[in-house]
């Protein structure tokens, strides 16, 4: 079993829909990252959180430490949001020097 599990693996939605991507982890963590990867490869950091909730524009990230679960929400989705969204965590056991990655969720927003 992977230490970081994301769901769904693939998600196709219509423009304007509310999107939720889930991340569950089985290890103790120091921090959880949500990242976005567009075709071509470059990765953009969206959020880093260790508790509670963060919001940036149309993106919201939440984390529940007790349940070992995080969600990334996109409100009023737009075709430019189409990308792979990746959840990654740092594990204190690894001295926080590396990220443990989920497999990613491929999101397609249709106009």
Partner 1 sequence: KAGVTQTPRYLIKTRGQQVTLSCSPISGHRSVSWYQQTPGQGLQFLFEYFSETQRNKGNFPGRFSGRQFSNSRSEMNVSTLELGDSALYLCASSFLDMNTEAFFGQGTRLTVV
Query: Would you tell me which residues interact with partner 1 (CB under 8 A)?
Result: 30-31, 33, 35, 40-45, 48, 50, 86, 88, 90, 94-101, 103-104
8 A C-beta contact, residue 61 and residue 46: yes
**Cβ neighbours around 32 below 10 Å, total:** 26
In the complex, minimum distance from the CB of residue 35 to partner 1, in angstroms, rounded to a whole number: 7
Q: Smaller CB distance to partner 1: residue 50 or 64?
A: 50
CA distance 108 to 70: 21
Q: C-beta of 5: minimal distance to partner 1 in Å?
A: 12
| Residue corresponding to tokens 């769901």 | 7
Q: Which is nearer to partner 1, 13 or 27 (CB)?
A: 27
């Amino acid at each position: 079993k992977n230490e970081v599990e994301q769901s769904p693996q693939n998600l196709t939605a219509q423009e304007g829909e509310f999107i939720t991507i889930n991340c569950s982890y089985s290890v103790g963590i120091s921090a959880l990252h949500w990242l976005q990867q567009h075709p071509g490869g470059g990765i953009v950091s969206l959020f880093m959180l260790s508790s509670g909730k963060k919001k940036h524009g149309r993106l919201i990230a939440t984390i529940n430490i007790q349940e070992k679960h995080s969600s990334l929400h996109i409100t009023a989705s737009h075709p430019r949001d189409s990308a792979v969204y990746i959840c990654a965590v740092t594990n204190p056991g690894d001295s926080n020097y590396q990220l443990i990655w989920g497999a990613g969720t491929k999101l397609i927003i249709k106009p």
